[in-house]
Amino acid sequence: MDGARNMNKYDTMLAVNKKRNKRKIDTAKKEIYKMLENGEKVTVTKLIEQTGLSRGFFYKNEEVRALLDRAVEQQAGMVSPKRYIGNIAQKRKIELLEEQNEKLLKEIAALQEENNRLKKALGKRALNTIKNL
């Protein structure tokens, strides 16, 4: 009688654990699909934050790990929004620096012309001074 009761408790415990594990798997899957749908980069760190599940769960659970790997593979070429914004800012900075560079090159050319003109004028003045001696 005692053995049957213990077996019943054991079966109940297994059923509860199985149900709890299924809920965890469902939660993880939903979050992965949600992140994919929203265009967010799927990472274990983000999944931990969103679901409250442990890092080990995502790596040890074969079903979740397979889905996670597929999602990450699917997003291989995806750029994170932060990096995209950073790229836009860098492109704008490059454009501004190129404009500034162009202005400086024009200024250099103008100064070189003026320098050449002044050298010629100075040369003529020196010749006149020598002639007057």
pTM reported for the whole predicted model = 0.53
End-to-end CA distance of the chain: 136
Nearest to 28 by CA among 68, 75, 79: 68
Q: Can you give the residue ranges of every domain in the chain?
A: 1-78, 79-133
pLDDT in tens, 18-55: 999 999 999 999 999 999 999 888 999 999 999 999 99
The answer to whether the beta carbons of residues 29 and 55 sit under 8 Å apart is: no
pLDDT in tens, 93-129: 999 999 999 999 999 999 999 999 999 998 888 777 7
CA-to-CA separations, 4 to 9, 11, 17, 18, in angstroms, rounded: 9, 10, 20, 21
